[in-house]
Structure 1
């Protein structure tokens, strides 16, 4: 039975390592890990989570956009496991948008990301999926993909003026 897992925080060395490919997607351990990742992101009011955030250095993350207290305007989608993902192509246009991270609590930042990306990933059934995603969903994907590369959103901040405490961010969006 799956359950929520403990989220590790900035400073843990796993978060700065490049993750390993998932070899056997159909294994009970990987399927259970996917369930635990979904439960963890939902319990924490996240819109995505990567395996390294629960101390599993594997190329796997969940994109689970939905309105919640942390992201009240997020679009609604079913939680989707993306295994061994790749960005195939991306827009030239880069847009700054608000991000936070379950592994970097109480901090928000304006992070530059591609407006759209063409992606490829393996789904929970072992099938290759390709699609184009845009806007907030593309932002989630890029944020989670960075976790697989050992990069945190604060590493992408262009200026200290783009970093805010959670309290200041809440004042700005209210």
Structure 2
């Protein structure tokens, strides 16, 4: 996957053998506990973890992954928003928009406003299910890049949803815990069937979050 190519090249020296890690599933204790912060972003073990998480995310086909999902209790997430997904949401021209692949260490989120928007989410740690989850529509987030530099951005829509979803993992929260109506927790097969049958495209937000 091209979005991670830069990270592959930069971190290859830290890991002679990259690995696809096992993803923790709902019910595993590592997903239910808040993770401690990364003490040293420049630690070679963090660089190795990043490379292995990239391999894992590429293999799983999601758009984001948190360290706790691969059984490592530390505050690190990675994510991206495909340009096609961004264009579908905000009307940008095909190939424009999107959010580049980002590794965020010790992230913090600040909601901007009180507007909440419900959207369908999936999760690699809750396989086979989808849920309708309310999230803040406009946020500011910040954290450290792997080189120690500060990343600070505002985000809306799906971008904001992905960041909130991934950072929830670091606090021991899975998306079903954010749902206000568990009747909207459905099997993947039923979700796709209903989406295909909906005349107005309701529920068409079917991007895997992770």
- TM-score by structure 1 length? 0.91
Paired residue secondary structure (1:64): strand
Deviation of 1:91 (Å): 2.5
Paired residue secondary structure (1:129): strand
Residue of structure 1 in register with 2:61 after alignment: 45
CA RMSD between the two structures? 1.7
Q: Number of residues paired by the alignment?
A: 170
Paired residue secondary structure (1:155): helix
The answer to which structure has the higher helix fraction is 2
Partners of 1:97 and 1:46 in 2: CA distance: 16
Correspondences of 1:92-171 after superposition (within 5 Å): 92-171=114-193
Deviation of 1:67 (Å): 7.6
Structure 1 stretches of 4+ with a deviation exceeding 4 A read 73-76
Deviation of 1:3 (Å): 2.5
Q: Tell me if structure 1 keeps the 8 A contact 2:107–2:144.
A: yes
Partners of 1:136 and 1:172 in 2: CA distance: 21
Partners of 2:106 and 2:53 in 1: CA distance: 15
Deviations 1:36-78 (A, max 9, x none): 112211211111010000000000011123389xxxx687443
Identify unmatched segments of 5+ residues in structure 2.
1-16, 90-96, 197-210
Pair 1:36-2:52 in alignment: yes
Residue of structure 2 in register with 1:2 after alignment: 18
Deviation of 1:130 (Å): 1.1
Higher Cα Rg: structure 1 or 2?
2
Residue of structure 2 in register with 1:173 after alignment: 195
Q: Tell me if structure 2 keeps the 8 A contact 1:61–1:81.
A: yes
Residue of structure 1 in register with 2:35 after alignment: 19
The answer to which structure has the higher strand fraction is 1
Residue of structure 2 in register with 1:83 after alignment: 105
